[in-house]
Amino acid sequence: MINRLVVFGATGDLNARYLLPGLAALRAGGHLPDGFRLVCADRKGWSGEEFRGWAAEQLDRHAGSAPADARARVAGTAEYRQADATDSADLASLIGGEGPVALYLALPPAVFPGSITALGRAGLPAGSRIVLEKPFGEDLASARELNRLLAEVVPEQAVFRVDHFLAMTTVQNLLGSRLANRVLEPLWNSAHISEIDIVWDESLALEGRAGYYDGVGALKDMVQNHLFQVLCLVAMEPPLSLGERDLRDRKIDVLRSIRPLTDQDVRRRTRRARYLAGGIGGREVPAYIDEDGVDPRSTTETFAEVELHLESWRWSGTTFRLRSGKALKHDRKEVAVRFRPVPHLPFGHNGEALPNVLRFGLDPEGMTLALTGIGSGARTLTPLTMTAQMEAPDLPAYGRLLLDVLHGNAALSIRSDEAEEAWRVLAPVMSAWAGDLVPLEGYPAGSGGPADALVRADPQHGREARP
């Protein structure tokens, strides 16, 4: 286990909201040794005391459920250094001398190439690891270049391209439900499943993140990484084990099986839109283009939807739809698996059998199965719903990711070829959208999104289903 973690971008949102709380959870659970060192660095000229006071405030705000002594220990023992993540001399002074180190680049993606180059010049101690957040590059070419730079500094096994979705208990339960239950796995194919919707709808709007979001948009921010990761777990063949090689090999198989999209496919099977002025939960929300920090010439989308088909024995004939949007009326974060109808109903006209739908709630956690049963009449059909609640996770997602980094378990990180393959799949969409082959639509904040959204609506939220 590596006993030293260096976080670049120390006073940023990622460290405040996720990394420090993740470390507090690890400390509370007894996962960190007494000699563990947390070194936080950025370009601000803070004193160590100033940083520790800031860290304590952030932990109180974002990790209130962690024991007070764990929060106090994380904040009180954190070291702060002023350093430029792209300056090799600063980095050599910061990371040298005490054995291997885990380096977490909690930085804007545009800084990654310069920082990785500087780390190579500074010289990393043997056995060190580098952690990068999404998005990994901004297209296929930049992802390949990042992989090339990383390969010159550390071996692939020491690179952690993290996606916290993979560490969410609800996402991992997709595999558990599929592979540990005989009642599901024999049905997990196109003969029985017609459609799978992977949805991450948020009622949150921009919330002050224009500096990051306006250069990225919903397609790159959510679909290319988070939702693709969920797709891989939903559609992958059963791996021999959940070890690093077996799990990652099966994930890359899914991405490689996605049918390439033509310009005509992009026109018919993708949607892009952004929110207009409206209201959400009693508060007024300005149009995206009027949000603070948004370039008035921006064409960034806040809603993205893509329909995909997999060319594989298991999934030929099943439609996969991935969707994410901001400033929508309801939060809806789930995987909805829609089964094909039964071939015959012996009930005459005494009701209609609705499609069986298995829903995996991603946030909040849970699982529901929509069935059809006999109602009060002798042969009258009526909807039935079975629900299940998941056990609370022992660690938050970032706590699990940090523990894997420190122990060198790369099973839940993204391999170099996987990062590139995800960009390959979306390259035709990005090109077509940049050429305005698909119009940029608008939807009022607080609405259900574009009226003709490809993903079927959620009846629990009172939306109309797609014809």
Classified as helix, coil or strand, 283 is strand
User: Residue 178 gets which letter from DSSP?
Assistant: H
Q: Is the pLDDT of residue 406 over 80?
A: yes
User: Residue 459 gets which letter from DSSP?
Assistant: G
What confidence tens digit (pLDDT) does each residue in 391-402 have?
A: 777 888 899 999
Q: Is the pLDDT of residue 199 over 70?
A: yes
Average pLDDT on 423-429 reads 96
pLDDT the model gives residue 18? 93
Pairing between strand 102-105 and 129-132? Answer: parallel
Rounded Cα distance, 329 and 443, in Å: 11
Greater pLDDT, 453 or 331 = 331
pLDDT the model gives residue 348? 61
Q: 59-73, 282-296, 304-318, 452-466: which has the minimum mean pLDDT? A: 452-466
Buried b (16+ CB within 10 A) or exposed e, 81-95: bebbbbbbebbbebb
pLDDT the model gives residue 351? 60
Whether 226 is a known active-site residue: answer: yes
**Which has the closest alpha carbon to 259: 402, 127, 428, 416?**
428
pLDDT band at 452 (very low <50, low <70, confident <90, very high): low
User: Residue 258 gets which letter from DSSP?
Assistant: B
> What is the average pLDDT value for the chain, to the nearest integer?
90
CATH class of 168-394+415-444: alpha beta
Rounded Cα distance, 147 and 244, in Å: 18
The answer to whether 461 is a known ligand-binding residue is: no
- Where are the domains positioned within the chain? 4-163, 168-394+415-444
Average pLDDT on 182-197 reads 95
Q: Which one of the listed residues 31, 192, 226, 344 is annotated catalytic?
A: 226
- 337 forms bridges with which residues in the sheet? 196, 358
Average pLDDT on 20-48 reads 94
Q: Is the pLDDT of residue 264 over 80?
A: yes
pLDDT the model gives residue 242? 85
Topology of the domain covering 4-163: Rossmann fold (3.40.50)
Rounded Cα distance, 243 and 237, in Å: 14
Pairing between strand 319-325 and 332-339? Answer: unpaired
Tokens found for residue 332: 């809806």
pLDDT the model gives residue 464? 38
Q: Is the pLDDT of residue 460 over 50?
A: no
| Helix ranges, 236-337 (H) | 244-257, 263-269
Distances (CA, A) of 182 to 169, 186, 187, 245: 21, 7, 9, 25
Average pLDDT on 238-261 reads 94
Rounded Cα distance, 144 and 154, in Å: 15
pLDDT the model gives residue 378? 61
Cβ–Cβ under 8 Å, residues 133 and 162? yes
Percent of the chain with pLDDT over 70: 94
The answer to whether 326 is a known ligand-binding residue is: yes
Q: 200-204, 391-395, 435-439: which has the minimum mean pLDDT? A: 391-395
Classified as helix, coil or strand, 360 is strand
The answer to whether 164 is a known ligand-binding residue is: yes
The answer to whether 71 is a known ligand-binding residue is: no
Tokens found for residue 154: 């550390």
Kindly report whether the peptide bond that precedes residue 364 is cis, defined as omega within 30 degrees of 0. yes
pLDDT the model gives residue 465? 40
Classified as helix, coil or strand, 381 is strand
Residue whose structure tokens are 């149009």:
287
Rounded Cα distance, 187 and 316, in Å: 14
Number of DSSP helices (H) and strands (E) in the chain, helices first: 15, 17
Q: Is the pLDDT of residue 203 over 90?
A: yes
Q: Is the pLDDT of residue 208 over 50?
A: yes
pLDDT the model gives residue 392? 77
pLDDT the model gives residue 8? 95
pLDDT the model gives residue 466? 40
Q: How far apart are the first and last CA of the chain?
A: 54
Q: What angle do CA 316, 321, 326 make, to 5 degrees?
A: 170
The answer to whether 268 is a known ligand-binding residue is: no
Half-sphere exposure of 357 (CA within 13 A, CB side): 22
Tokens found for residue 171: 């996402």
The answer to whether 221 is a known ligand-binding residue is: yes
pLDDT the model gives residue 459? 47
Greater pLDDT, 341 or 190 = 190
What confidence tens digit (pLDDT) does each residue in 335-389 have?
A: 999 999 888 777 665 566 678 999 998 887 888 998 887 776 666 777 888 888 7
Rounded Cα distance, 407 and 3, in Å: 10
Average pLDDT on 252-270 reads 96
**Which has the closest alpha carbon to 106: 151, 42, 58, 49?**
42
What confidence tens digit (pLDDT) does each residue in 288-344 have?
A: 999 999 999 999 999 999 999 999 999 999 999 999 999 999 999 999 999 998 887
Distances (CA, A) of 56 to 26, 51, 94, 340, 397: 16, 9, 23, 53, 21
Distances (CA, A) of 129 to 34, 228, 243: 21, 25, 19
pLDDT the model gives residue 178? 87
